[in-house]
Structures are given as C-alpha cells and as structure tokens.
Structure 1
C-alpha cells in the first residue's frame, strides 16, 4: 500500500490496474476540464475508462483515488511508470496557489518515497514533474493538457516542493568544539548558555554569566552537569558534545 497521508482517501473500485506500477519516473500534471466533484463521480463510472492517482480542487482539496502501487489510467503509455494528478479547471486556466501547494506536497512525497528528483521532467524518458502533453500521441495525444499557463507554473511547484523537503534549521546552537571554552572566549553564545544555566538554577548570576567564559561559569556548568547526573569527564565543568546537546543552548 502506498497512500499519501496528506490526501483524502477516496478509493475507486474500477478504472485502474491492480499492481503493474514499475519504477516511478515522476508525477504528471493534468487538467480536469471539470470540477473535482464531477471528476470524482466520473472515475467511479466503468464507462469512463479513466482515473488518476490524485486530484486537487481550486480551493486546496486533495483526493487520492488510486494507491500508487497500482496503475491509474491517466496517460496511456505513461501509466506504468508515472504517477498522475488531475486538477480542477479547464484548458487555458492557471492553477491556484492552493493547487500548486497540494501538487508540491505530493511531489515532495514522491521524492521521499520513490526517489523522484525535484526537477521539471525533460520528457517521457526523463524524471521529475511532468505534464500530460509532453507524452504526445503515446500518451493519448492530449496536446492541450494541462495548457501552457500551467506548464509555466511547473518550476514554481518544484521550488515549493524543495522548500518542503529542505532540512529544518536546528533551533539549538551547534557545539563550538572542545577547545573553544579553554581559551576564555568572548561570545554571544556564552551569554545564551549562561541564561540556560540560570533557568536551570545552576548559576549565581541573576542575568546569566558572559559574554566571557570564566572560572565562575565553569563552576556553574559543573553544578548543572552533576545535577543532570553526568559523572567523570562529563562533570568537570568543561562543555563536551554530550552535555552541550543536553543543555540545549538556543541559537544566537
């Protein structure tokens, strides 16, 4: 089973192939030429002979109709190696910002789940974020799907997906190294560290020691280390990586 947790799961009982999905090359953007509700209804009709893995509404709704381990019937010869996402609207429309966000979320998930590169696909033999018309006759000859305005929005969707997958900036200061404190440095990080020791009730300074590391600071730090149960070299008043990480000094 491969379902995106950010989508409303609305499985269909017809119009898809159970299994049959090979290595995923990317995500293909389509236009519905209709509404999300209408498309949802149409995909449930055996006469449709069509489906998509995902679909967006102009207001930001996101549906998933077909498990990505299965083959949706969206782009003919491209069904076996591409995921698909339909979008509410008609030819000539641009996607709303909410739709772009939903596509970016699915694309970022495809990147994490299937290793799809975060780029606009160069063609059917490429990988990344593609669009229906790029497949030509082999993908059903839908040369106006999803339309030039939406194709021009693909780089922005890729940029949004990249922001979603960018590692979060740590909120705590990185360990400055074993030798840093032994040189009695002056630094804003020492003030931030002192405030943490005051908060932990292990400093005699009402406003926190610093900005210079002194013997008083070392004693305050040793008091905190022992209070937290550290022993031996981890309780000598000199910050090490283990005790530093435990103190959680804010970034400055």
Structure 2
C-alpha cells in the first residue's frame, strides 16, 4: 500500500482500478470546478466513473481517496502512470498558499515514495510535476484544466517540494514580521498550513529542536517542540504561537 501519512485517508470503494498503476512518472495537477466536499461525494457516486488520488481544499485540507499503487480515473490515458491531485476551485483560479503547500507535500512524498524526480513536466513523455491539459485529447481533452494561472504556479510548488525534501531551514528562516494569525494544533480539527508555519518550524530547528520537520504543517510534533521552546524562553507553554512566542523565536 502507498498512502501518504499526513493526508486524510478517505478511501472510495468504487471508481478506480485496484493495482492498476503501471508506473509513476509524476504528479498531475487538476482543478475541481467545485468544492472538496462536493468532489468527495461525486467520487462515491457510481455514475461519476471518476476519481483522483488526492484532493486539496482552499484552506489547506489534504485528502487521499485512492492508494497510489492503484489507478485513479481522472485523466484517461494518463491514469496508468501518473498520480493525480484535484484542487478545490474553478477555472481561472489560482491555488491558495495553503493549496500550494499541500501540492508541494504530495510531490515531495511522491519523490520519496515513488522516485518521482523534482522537476517540471510539460508533456506526457516527461517525468515530474505535470498538469492535466498537457495530455491533450488522449488525456480526455481538457484544455482549461487546471488553467494558465495554476500552470504558472507549478514552479512555486516545485520550489516548496525541494525545500521539504532538503529540509533546509535557510529557505524559510526568520526574522520575519508577525504573520497576524495564531499558530496552533487542535486535536480533531484540520491542521494549519502555510509559509508562516514553515518559518516557525525553521526557528524551532535553529533553537535546537531538531526533531521538527519543515513541512508547513502545524501538527502535534510542532506543538510539542513549541511548548518546550516556550518553557525554555520563560513564556506560557500553551503550544500556541502568538506574537510573543513568534518574536522570541524569529528575532
């Protein structure tokens, strides 16, 4: 089985081919033309005859519907050799910062799990990070998926994926201004994602908390390291990164 550990596993029992993945050449970006919840419901409908390996929400939710050893049904002839990501939104949208992070995390994981090279792909003969419309008619003839504004963002997704794989805090290091939102982990609620989380994780590593991974996801390990940092700094150890904690760590 090949399931991404930090994706929310929401398996579908229909609309995919078990064990049908011939190879993994790369990751293909799609746009849903709808919501994450609506797409989840549609993939569970026998009439859909469609599915994707992964999906993202505009706020950073990341779900996995199909094991990457199995074949999802989202890009016709491209299904047999590419991992797919459906992104919440509509034609003409850009991916949000949180969606960029989620796509980068999938690409970085696919690199580690399946050997996908960290490079851009612009046609079905390539390897790396591709997009749906590059497959043309054999891939279902979707010339506007995911759209030019998202295709341009592929370079940023690649940059973030390389930073995740390299684990280099230098790419996201402080000091930086307070981002204006409290960073926290709450059990049972969606994780917080973003560039500000990566900056904070880099700050924790510089402070000596080397068990933290710079993945832009504020999970329980980041909270534990945050509490240890707060205690060492004489702050309230609530695991919440507010202005005082942020400035103490990134100055």
Q: TM-score, normalised by structure 1?
A: 0.66
Aligned counterparts, 1:130-141, within 5 A: 130-141=130-141
Q: Write the mapping of 1:175-190 to structure 2, written as runs, cut at 5 A.
A: none
Q: Secondary structure, in 3 states, of the residue corresponding to 2:80?
A: coil
The aligned residue for residue 122 of structure 1 is: 122
Mapped to 1, the partners of 2:115 and 2:11 lie a distance apart of: 25
Mapped partners of 1:147, 1:14: distance in 2:
28
- In structure 2, the partner of 1:161 is 161
User: For 1:1-252, what aligned pairs fall within 5 Å after superposition?
Assistant: 1-167=1-167
1:31-72 C-alpha deviation (Å, 9 max, x unpaired): 000000000000000000000000000000001000001000
Contact 2:122–2:131, Cα closer than 8 Å, also in 1: no
Where in structure 2 are there 5+ consecutive unaligned residues? 170-251
SS at match of 1:47: coil
- Give the SS at the match of 2:121: coil
SS at match of 1:46: coil
Look up the SS of the partner of 1:79 in the other structure. Answer: helix
CA RMSD of superposed structures (Å): 0.9
Task: State which structure, 1 or 2, has the greater radius of gyration over its C-alpha atoms.
Answer: 1
- Secondary structure of the structure 2 residue equivalent to 1:24: coil
- Secondary structure of the residue that 2:5 maps to in structure 1? coil
Q: 8 Å contact 2:93–2:150 — kept in the other structure?
A: yes
Q: How far does residue 122 in structure 1 lie from its aligned partner after superposition?
A: 3.0
Count of residue correspondences: 169
**C-alpha deviation, 1:168, in angstroms:** 5.1
Question: Does structure 1 conserve the Cα–Cα contact (< 8 Å) formed by 2:56 and 2:63?
Answer: yes
- After superposing on structure 2, the runs of 4+ consecutive aligned residues of structure 1 that deviate more than 6 Å are none
TM-score, normalised with respect to structure 2: 0.66
Partner Cα distance (1:84, 1:155) in 2: 17
Unaligned runs of 5+ in 1: 170-252
Distance in structure 1 (CA, Å) of the matches to 2:135 and 2:43 = 22
CA distance in 2, matches of 1:167, 1:121: 23
Q: How has the CA–CA distance of structure 1 residues 168 and 158 changed in structure 2, closer, same or farther, with 3 Å as cutoff?
A: closer
Partner of 1:224: none
Distance apart, 1:118 and its partner CA: 0.6
